[in-house]
Chains A and B, each alone.
Chain A
Amino acid sequence: MSAQQSNTRRLIRQTLTIARRDFIATVFTPTFLIFLFAPLIMGSFGAIGGLGALSMKQGNDTKDRIVAIVPPAEAAAMAAIDTRLRRIFRGRDERPPALVTEAPRGDAAARARAELQAKDYDVSAVLYGPLATPTILYGAQGARTADYLAELAEATLRAERSGGSAALSRPTKQSVARTKVSNGGKNQAAFFTVFGIFFLTLLLAGQAVGTMAEERSNKVIEVLAAAVPLESVFLGKLLGMFGVAVLFVGFWGTLVSQIAAIAPPGLAAALATIGPAVGMPVYVVLFFAYFTMAYMLLGAVFLSVGAQASTMREIQMLSLPITIVQVAMFGLASVAAAQPGTAVATFAEWFPFSSPFAMAARAANRPELWPHLLALAWQLLWVGIVITIGARAFRRGVLQSGSGKFSVKALFGR
């Protein structure tokens, strides 16, 4: 075996030794369980909040109404049309408040105004007067319901004139699934991809910032630096934390895929229209590859920056700029996902730190595969560059392996 091979083998072995130590030290602790189930905790709080909001909304729904002051003959037709029209609306949020019809008595205008000021229930809009020229009064948030009341009046009048409120058209409805992914579906897939990788790196890569702090605080760094090149220490720590991230993603990925398998058929059909241009199997591989690159690239930057910090306070101070950098990369890649082929998209695909996000979006938008091989090689090169610069900055700044004067040349030179 040549000396070069022997050195390479030693470097790999040392890197993996450090990665293994970091992985075990992170995973085999009670704190890791809290970390692993953080999304569940987050989801639980979200669900509790959502339930609260829902019950509040339901409470409000029973009190919300729209009022039509019309003669009883018209009221019956209007109620029947209202029942039919309401089927078009999907959720409670879209649906207008319940319709209440009242027979006209006395001053209709005064009554309508009184309804809007009612104490026991909330009226968002009131219609009164002949259906051909009705007057609709509405409150601050009742513009849409006023439109609905206008449509209702129109439909009721048309029904009257055509001799009844029964539906005249009897359509036959058939559900047909698309055999090809729609353009909108590709765009949606691109956005979901960028968001997915961003969310995962936001959640996971930021952890890298504090990993060197342990070695610095317990002074193990001197032992490591004596035995292992700092580049291997950095890469080992990054791989160790990446292992933790993969475990996290694997756990939640499996769980989510099982939930997706029991999703209602309507949702499955809707999801079928969203898909990547490169096809699902290749897309899954590319998603993982770009997640790896995004993690390694941003993680390497955070690790390098965090390694310069000497106290926990300094590390905590770094979390804000780190989040800003991540959000900036997300923003850039989102534009690339929404506008594939534009100059911004090309820039995002080439700029090393947004490249994994933007290229993953490209996999969803465009079918060519060769740019991905190029991009992965380019990103890998930058992982190496960032780790090398980070390790050298650490060596000069923290281990003081330099004459104390900072120079870019010294940072890149051996």
Chain B
Amino acid sequence: MTSDTLAISATGLIKNFGGRRVVDGIDIAVPKGAIYGVLGPNGAGKTTTLRMLLGIIEPDGGHRTLLGHERPREASDQVGYLPEERGLYPAMKAKDAIAFLGALRGLDLKTGRKRAIDLLEAAGLGHAVDTKIRKLSKGMAQLVQLLGSVVHRPDLLVLDEPFSGLDPVNQERLEALIVAERDRGATILFSTHVMAHAERLCDRLCIIAGGKRRFEGTVADARGTLPMKAHYVPHHDGDGIAALLPADAVRDADGWRFTVPEDGAEAILKRLIDAGFGIAGLSIERPGLHEAFVRIVGAAAQDDEADSLEQAA
């Protein structure tokens, strides 16, 4: 991918806080027009990475460009941002808060207010147009801030943990808004540790753990890092089944679950049929992003532990 096709490009980003390295050489390439997820457990360095990409804090090492600008501030008017720690002026009316956030990004206040009313109505918050922020619920205030991050129609929308604190209805609204923004032509970069949203939304994603990038690719690529899982229900159950299945096979309520070997499940199934157990049910599928995430992050933790033991030795 070239810089013309990338909304964000970062290589070797490093950040230290108080002598501790919290981001350690992260590379990110976000294609224009994509929904890109930054996934990671708590404390992985997601927020610090996003803040460096946006120029809120300066990296201690590495290089990044944002919408073609080496200084992120120069692209400020084309960027929308929802920080992890939400914050609005409590005394402002909802429409004024949205217009103010737009004004910071170059939208004139009059247009901002007009668009704010439209956006609030579209988000089902038409009744709250003139309500002060302090009188809104936490979820509603969060939606208002989100609308404030898109009111100026940015080319790049950066959302840090946008789903946290929202009820399922508002989470769905937010998903719809993200898709709508992508359809408008914007690039969306968001961080989360809830895999379901990433699985539904992301065109590409990266997984960060311990300040390092552990994976980059599509959701399918991430799921592809794990072998297929089979769920087998025998026609006739018996004690000899376990011996014919792979070593990791475990029994559940109605059958057996096991990992499909790299050369496929045919040989196992043939042995089961030959032994007379038959096949009453069989499903073979890739594990979800959740399992892939757990495996990648778990492996990263083991690697880091091994590294630190090695260093200590």
Contact = CB atoms under 8 A, between A and B. Distances in A.
Contact of A17 (B79, B86, B100): B100
Contacts of B51: 226
B106 interface: yes
Contacts of A25: 89, 91
Interface string B86-112: 111111000000001101111000000
Determine which residue in A3, A17, A223, A401 has the highest number of CB atoms from chain B within 10 A of its CB, and name it: A223
Interface stretch (B15-23, B31-39, B180-188, B243-251): B15-23
Contact of A403 (B56, B60, B76, B104): B60
A17 B90 contact: no
A222 B56 contact: yes
A399 B104 contact: no
A55 interface: no
Interface string A384-414: 0000000000010001111110000000000
A174 interface: no
* Main SS class of interface, A: helix
A227 B104 contact: yes
B247 to A, nearest CB: 49
Given A10-B76, A10-B77, A21-B100, A226 B90 contact: no
Contacts of B101: 223, 227
Given A25-B91, A218-B89, A223-B83, A400 B57 contact: yes
A228 B19 CA distance: 28
B74 interface: yes
B73 A229 contact: yes
A226 B85 contact: no
Given A3-B74, A218-B87, A218-B90, A223 B104 contact: yes
Contact of B87 (A219, A229, A402, A403): A219
B74 A399 contact: no
Contacts of A224: 104
Contact of B76 (A3, A17, A214, A227): A227
B86 A219 contact: yes
Contacts of B86: 219
Contacts of A400: 17, 57
B17 A225 contact: no
Of the candidates A17, A221, A222, the one having the most CB atoms from chain B within 10 angstroms of its own CB is A222
A328 interface: no
A399 B17 contact: no
Contacts of A334: none
Nearest to B77: A10
Contacts of B57: 395, 399-402
A18 B109 CA distance: 12
A172 interface: no
Interface in A9-63: 10, 13-14, 17-18, 21, 25, 29
A214 B79 CA distance: 24
The residue in B77, B83, B87, B88 that gathers the most chain A C-beta atoms within 10 A of its C-beta is B87
A220 B79 CA distance: 17
B81 A223 contact: yes
Contact of B85 (A3, A14, A219): A219
A21 B18 contact: no
Interface in B221-274: none
B304 interface: no
B172 interface: no
Given A10-B76, A14-B104, A404-B17, A226 B56 contact: yes
A18 B105 CA distance: 12
Nearest to A16: B103
B91 A222 contact: no
A406 to B, nearest CB: 12
A384 B48 CA distance: 29
Contacts of B19: 403-404
B140 to A, nearest CB: 16
B25 to A, nearest CB: 16
B91 to A, nearest CB: 6
Given A3-B74, A227-B76, A400-B17, A220 B104 contact: no
Contacts of A223: 81, 83, 87, 101, 104, 145
B58 interface: yes
Interface of B: 16-19, 51, 54-58, 60, 73-74, 76-77, 79, 81, 83, 85-91, 100-101, 103-106, 145
23 contacts: A3-B74, A7-B74, A10-B76, A10-B77, A13-B106, A17-B103, A21-B89, A21-B100, A218-B90, A221-B87, A222-B87, A223-B145, A226-B55, A226-B79, A226-B83, A227-B104, A228-B76, A228-B104, A395-B57, A401-B57, A402-B57, A403-B18, A404-B18
Given A227-B101, A404-B18, 20 more contacts: A3-B74, A10-B77, A10-B106, A14-B104, A25-B91, A218-B90, A220-B89, A222-B83, A222-B87, A223-B81, A223-B104, A223-B145, A225-B56, A226-B55, A226-B56, A226-B83, A227-B79, A400-B17, A403-B17, A403-B19
The 4 closest A-B pairs by CB, nearest first: A219-B87, A401-B57, A227-B104, A404-B18
